[in-house]
Amino acid sequence: MNPLVFSAPENPMVRLDATIAELRRAGRPVFDFGVGDPVEPTAPFLVRALKDAVPAVGRYPRVAGTPALRAAIAAYLRRRFDVDLDPDRQILPAAGAKEAIFHLPLCLIDPRSDRRAVVYPDPGYPIYERGAAFAGGEPHPVRLREDRGWRVEPGDLPEALLARTAILWLDHPNNPTGSVAPRAYLERVAEASRRFGFVVAADECYADVYDAGTEPPLSYLQVARERATAIHSLSKRSGMTGMRSGFMAGDSEIISALRRFRPSLGTASQEFVQAAATAAWGDDAHVRERNASFAEKRRLLRAFLERRGLRVTPGTAGLYLWVELPGRRSSEGWALALARRTGIVVQPGAFLGPGGEGYVRFALAPSVESCRRATQVWEESGADTPAPE
Show me where the domains of the chain are located: 3-32+286-381, 44-282
Cα separation, 39 vs 364, whole angstroms: 9
**Range 3-32+286-381 has CATH code 3.30.450.20:** no
> Consecutive sets of 10 residues in the chain, 389 residues long: mean pLDDT of each?
77 76 90 93 97 93 94 98 98 95 96 96 95 96 96 97 98 95 98 98 97 94 98 96 96 96 86 97 98 97 95 94 89 92 94 95 97 95 60
CA distance 78 to 166: 28
Q: Write the DSSP string, 126-173.
A: THHHHHHHHTT-EEEEEE--GGGTT---GGGS-HHHHHTEEEEEEESS
Which pLDDT does position 265 carry in this prediction? 83
Instruction: State the pairing for strand pair 228-233/199-203.
Output: parallel
pLDDT of amino acid 386 = 52
Alpha-carbon torsion (127, 130, 135, 137), positive or negative? positive
HSE-up (13 A, CA, CB side) for residue 339: 28
The pLDDT value given to residue 266: 72
Predicted pLDDT at 16:
74
As its CATH architecture, domain 44-282 has: 3-Layer(aba) Sandwich (3.40)
* Helical axes 331-342 vs 13-25, angle rounded to 10°: 10
